[in-house]
Chains A and B, each alone.
Chain A
Amino acid sequence: MHLCRVIGTVWATRKVDTLHGYRMLVVQPLSHDLTEKGTPVVAVDTVSAAPGQLVYIVKSREAAKALDEPFNPVDATIVGIVDEVRTST
């Protein structure tokens, strides 16, 4: 799983049937010190995250397993909201 910051929202009216009802957010992957790492991705939201929040995502095949319909064309899903990251480095 990867730490990310929510930086935006994606609106898509016309989409695959199984994606109807899901919100999609643009998230910027972060390193453990919260510096940006790589390019932003679009992730399905399952935790009602909001722009600016720190979240974590699961990627690849396991991303679809977070949804009610696991046979879904999804490769990134937000599965939690971060309260705090505790690191000593």
Chain B
Amino acid sequence: MFIARVIGEVVSTIKHDALHGRKLLVIEKLTEGGDPTGDSQLAVDSVDAGEGDTVLVLDEGGSAGLVTELDNPPIRTVIVGVIDSVDIEG
């Protein structure tokens, strides 16, 4: 998993059946210090995250299937949590 910030959303009408009814958000990876890295991608939301939220993102297909409750969906990037804070020691 990695930490990212939600920076937008994608509106899409024509899409794979497994994606119907799911919110697609634009996320940007953050460094451990919380700084944006410029590396953005799209993720399926499962926790009702919104723009500006710092989120926990899963990038693995098997677990994405568990979260979305679908059999073998063509999905691998899922937002699985909204982060309140991160403490880095040292």
Within 8 A of B (CB), among A37-59: 46-48, 56, 58-59
B12: A residues at CB distance < 8 A: 56, 80-83
B86 cross-chain contacts in A, Cβ below 8 A: none
Is B56's beta carbon under 8 Å from chain A? no
Contact B15 A79 (CB under 8 A): yes
A87 and B19 within 8 A (CB): no
A41 CA to B43 CA in the complex, in Å?
20
Interface hits, A72-89 → B, CB 8 Å: 77, 79-89
* B11 on interface, CB distance cutoff 8 Å: yes
- Interface 9-mer from A7-15, A16-24, A63-71: A63-71
Task: Say if the beta carbon of B64 comes within 8 Å of chain A.
Answer: yes
CB distance from B51 to the nearest CB of A (A): 7
Interface of A is mostly: mixed
A31–B42 CA distance with the chains assembled, in angstroms: 10
> How many A residues touch the partner, as a band?
20 to 34
- Inter-chain contact A86/B16, CB cutoff 8 Å: no
Residues of B within 8 A of A (CB): 7-16, 18-19, 24, 26, 28, 38, 40-44, 51, 61, 64, 72-77
Question: Could you jot down 16 A-B contacts, CB within 8 Å?
Answer: A1-B24, A3-B41, A31-B40, A32-B28, A56-B10, A56-B42, A62-B75, A65-B61, A65-B72, A79-B15, A80-B24, A85-B9, A86-B8, A87-B7, A88-B7, A88-B51
Q: A31-B40, A88-B51 are in contact. List 19 more A-B contacts (CB 8 A).
A: A1-B77, A3-B10, A31-B38, A32-B8, A32-B40, A47-B14, A47-B16, A56-B12, A60-B76, A62-B73, A65-B73, A79-B19, A81-B15, A82-B11, A82-B12, A83-B12, A83-B13, A85-B8, A87-B7
